Structure 1
């Protein structure tokens, strides 16, 4: 199993392929391209289990051609068990829409209006769904293996966008593998700000029961240390949520500066708690037999300003 973030684009229109590639690589996704039905089937046969989204152009042979993209939906269902097929077209018809959903398409999008924003949102949602489905299918030993594999990718990846996406994916996996925090969303965008990680707090554990309806996470997968400015920025996000969010986790495998820790200490009288999580903390959380214990320890360390 691979970390979610693989999208297959099936389109014969080179300019649109370039647009798609730019959009999704900026989102941190791995982009695979097929320019024809034959290429698409070959890719599905060889890489289907890796795929999270398959973007299908309805007309692969030009505007006057058949709806050959729709013919691939059954192949997606057959060879890519987790992938969500999304049809994109500039030539929507009632019959084509009805046929697409009968064949099992996840979504259908027309190339007009706010197309790019809608496409980005729909693909994000589809990746969230496939990620959850993958984790449900895992046994505990497989969860640990997946966490370790993703952690290795977090540390070794060089692409800036992919580095951030992988850290978000690791954090999502960790919370989902911790009792009481199974519902996790990444890259929540309200038009004003983007939240890296939102965790629904459904824990009955006394430590977390009164910590607010949601926990937020901010991910900084940098080679350098995270500083005071990042702490202040994250606190700003936590303080503008109608008092429904009181606790946030700032994840920085590269560590934190002395100034970042001093910034935290200067606001100890407030209701907002920021938990700093570095590479050593992530390692302990990943390998722990009881991940809730590690989460409690991180909380206690933040509340009482304890050293390791």
Structure 2
């Protein structure tokens, strides 16, 4: 079973059109969430931090510093899970870039804006057909995760290396079922956290860990997570004032022995820190029930600690 949700992001520069389309599709498509964004900041934030399995993107955006083609390229770069439906009344003006985008395999369809009922019906059919195929064939999701994990580990540029790994971890947790994953967040004490997950999955086991899950990402295959890294990260959990009682140290390297000893020493605390390294990542990537596998990893490490 795949925990990922059927979620559609609608991107347009006209708020009324985006909202109207979301409301119409919500009435006709069951078990699917719809989010719409219609200003520059919200669009970029949604693309980078929110989970969506399908993006509906208008091409012409006269109000903005970018157009739909730019946004589609960004979606392809940061979200291998998402497919894209292009909508436009001016598709003929973009024939050359649309042709190039089709080569990526990420474009589901190009739908011309026309009479609203016929237009939304065509969209509904494309969205539902894709979701049926996606959730009946989890191998596509797993292959995308494997590719991103490989790219993150093999990246040579130091800055891009960290960025790629954070992106992989974010996508992994989206595949588990989390919809909101925010990157590079500073708390009130100016402690920076790589990823913060809104812990909104309806699960009695996970809900006891507070409203948020904090994740520290270390993409250094030849280095370990040492005791000091653990202590600093634990202090960040303390500063959340019980909003987060689960932290995750994610690494492409390995965990030093003194770090495990420190974890055991602090195991009486209500706050818990678990480790995700190569073994756990492989389990999660290959699992067909990623949510259950994630819970098993937590359960095992909490018991061990």
Structure-2 change in CA distance of 1:276 and 1:80 (3 Å): same
The structure whose RCO (Cα within 8 Å, separation 6+) is larger is 2
How far apart are the structure 1 equivalents of 2:290 and 2:303?
20
2:269 is aligned to 270
- Please say if 1:82 is aligned against 2:81: no
Q: CA deviation at 1:259?
A: 0.4
How far apart are the structure 2 equivalents of 1:269 and 1:136?
41
2:192 is aligned to 194
Contact 2:81 2:144 in 1 (8 A): no
1:41 is aligned to none
1:241 is aligned to 240
Structure-2 change in CA distance of 1:78 and 1:216 (3 Å): closer
Aligned length: 193
- Please say if 1:162 is aligned against 2:152: no
Q: CA deviation at 1:145?
A: 2.4
| 1:176 pairs with one of 159, 174, 186 | 174
How far apart are the structure 2 equivalents of 1:167 and 1:78?
27
Helix, strand or coil at the partner of 2:67 = helix
Q: CA deviation at 1:82?
A: 2.4
Helix, strand or coil at the partner of 2:213 = strand
2:224 is aligned to 225
How far apart are the structure 2 equivalents of 1:71 and 1:202?
36
**CA offsets per residue over residues 17-62 of structure 1, 9 Å max, x none?**
xxxxxxxxxxxxxxxxxxxxxxxxxxxxxxxxxxx89xxxxxxxxx
Q: TM-score, normalised by structure 2?
A: 0.57
Where do residues 1-308 of structure 1 align in structure 2 (5 Å cutoff)? Answer: 76-77=66-67, 79-82=69-72, 131=78, 135-137=81-83, 139=134, 140-179=138-177, 181-190=178-187, 192-222=190-220, 223-305=222-304
How far apart are the structure 2 equivalents of 1:260 and 1:303?
14
How far apart are the structure 2 equivalents of 1:178 and 1:203?
9
Contact 1:273 1:302 in 2 (8 A): no
Helix, strand or coil at the partner of 1:187 = strand
Structure-2 change in CA distance of 1:82 and 1:243 (3 Å): same
How far apart are the structure 2 equivalents of 1:149 and 1:272?
33
Q: CA deviation at 1:182?
A: 1.7
Q: CA deviation at 1:130?
A: 8.2
Q: CA deviation at 1:131?
A: 4.4
Where in structure 2 are there 5+ consecutive unaligned residues? Answer: 1-46, 49-60, 84-105, 107-133
How far apart are the structure 1 equivalents of 2:193 and 2:289?
27
Q: CA deviation at 1:162?
A: 1.4
Q: CA deviation at 1:144?
A: 2.1
Please tell me the root mean square deviation across aligned C-alpha atoms, in Å: 2.8
Helix, strand or coil at the partner of 2:247 = strand
Structure-2 change in CA distance of 1:130 and 1:189 (3 Å): farther
**CA offsets per residue over residues 234-257 of structure 1, 9 Å max, x none?**
001000012111001101121101
Q: TM-score, normalised by structure 1?
A: 0.57
How far apart are the structure 2 equivalents of 1:200 and 1:73?
30
How far apart are the structure 2 equivalents of 1:82 and 1:71?
16
Q: CA deviation at 1:301?
A: 1.6
